[in-house]
Amino acid sequence: MSSQENSDIDKSQDASKENSQFIYSLILIFLIPVAIIVSTFWGMQKIQKNIESELQKKTILAKTIFAGAVSDSLDDDSLLETKIKTIVESNTELKEITVLKPIDDGFLAVASSDVNNLGLTFKSLQYTSAWVDDKSITSLAQAEGNKNERYWVIISPLKNPDSENVALVNMKISLADIDSSRQKTLTETLIVLSITIFFVLLLLFNHFKFFEYSILFKRLKEVDKMKDDFISMASHELKTPMAAIKGYMGMIFEGVAGKVDQKAKAHLEKVLANIKRLDALVDALLDVSRLEQDRMQFDMQALDITQVLSEVISEIKVQADEKKLKIQYETLAEPHPLIFADYDRIGQIFENIIGNAIKYTFKGGVTIYHRIEEGRLKTIIQDTGIGMSKQDMKGLFKRFYRIRNEKTADIPGTGLGLWITKEIVLKMNGEILAESKENIGSAFTIIFPIIEEKKQ
């Protein structure tokens, strides 16, 4: 399968992942408020049912108390009437009490808190069943005039002291108080519910935003990876033709391909210098991509830093000599401490820092010395160069950062050296610091933990 096909599959998998995340977010947006609404109404209904069943029990209790209170007055209808009125007047929840006695074709209302009922004959299955089966029948009913007003109705036999069924009582207990407090609770709950849903929607909206950010972040990472891959591929591909150009140009310069006159040699020197710069840029880009993709190899070993420094200084001295700069190295007293690092990478670090010190210095020179403090070996590279202002130093150690002013205008560079150096130092558990004063000079300090002293 080609890499194009692979990346197409990856992309379609990513797209379906994004789609499912989107659908998941949409479901959440609908499901959460619906769940809150359903659970609120379910809870309300449960409470309502509990209250009503409690009230039903109270209705039965009220009837029992009433039955006890009137058991000895069942023969006297006017006394019964008085008692009923007193009871109804002192209990606002009691809407109506009617006592009925059986006659041939039904039940005759003999005493009632509602005068309209007196003398009327009531016939219904409920009355007959309560009388015949000797049991209390409770039911929920609505007021005739006002559909919003509800009652618990209890129809129950009344017994004389000899426990004989003498009459029936029809008692209505109003649910008005409970219904109005239920209405109030419902209104309050709806307000709280609306506020909750508002905040939940706000939260979900934010979730959507985060979701959007996460997609953007993923895309950014993809683009970043594409850039890294491109730098890595381009610098690798450049390496081979660069080596060929360098080789052949060198041969031409040496006169291998025929005699080269002085004028042509001067031009060739310029070409070679530019090839060298290009080569350094490609090397730097390769290091950047290796470091970014964590592909740089480190052959860690105990080593004597003074040995690496002596080699680097002897190689780089030519550059200092060309600018008539003095390079001074104050080595360490024996026995030399050892650090744990990669020999070549340590060399690369010092090449960079000492190279910069020479590059950005026009008179005076570069001094390299060591300090041992708290089990750490510090190497200080101090120059008497152009220095840097505090403001300019803020971006130091960042990728592609170059200080641009008239003093640096003609100095070539990529702005990658210090970033690469810092990354390599950190990878080997070291530290790098910079101090500088404009027109006075700079000092870079590289610190590594000491592992042991060199055995003689």
Kindly tell me which of 204 and 282 has the beta carbon lying closer to ligand ADP.
282
Minimum Å distance from CB 424 to ligand ADP? 13
Minimum Å distance from CB 331 to ligand ADP? 21
Name the residue number minimizing CB distance to ligand ADP. Answer: 413
Kindly tell me which of 367 and 442 has the beta carbon lying closer to ligand ADP.
442
Kindly tell me which of 67 and 316 has the beta carbon lying closer to ligand ADP.
316
Kindly tell me which of 167 and 416 has the beta carbon lying closer to ligand ADP.
416
Kindly tell me which of 31 and 440 has the beta carbon lying closer to ligand ADP.
440
By residue count, the chain amounts to 456
Minimum Å distance from CB 360 to ligand ADP? 3
The footprint of ligand ADP (CB under 6 A) covers: 356-357, 360, 383, 385-388, 396, 401-403, 408, 413-419, 442
Kindly tell me which of 84 and 327 has the beta carbon lying closer to ligand ADP.
327
Kindly tell me which of 232 and 436 has the beta carbon lying closer to ligand ADP.
436
Kindly tell me which of 150 and 422 has the beta carbon lying closer to ligand ADP.
422
Amino acid code (one letter) for 325: L
Minimum Å distance from CB 273 to ligand ADP? 16
Minimum Å distance from CB 409 to ligand ADP? 11
Longest dimension (CA), the chain: 151
Minimum Å distance from CB 324 to ligand ADP? 17
Minimum Å distance from CB 279 to ligand ADP? 14
Minimum Å distance from CB 209 to ligand ADP? 38
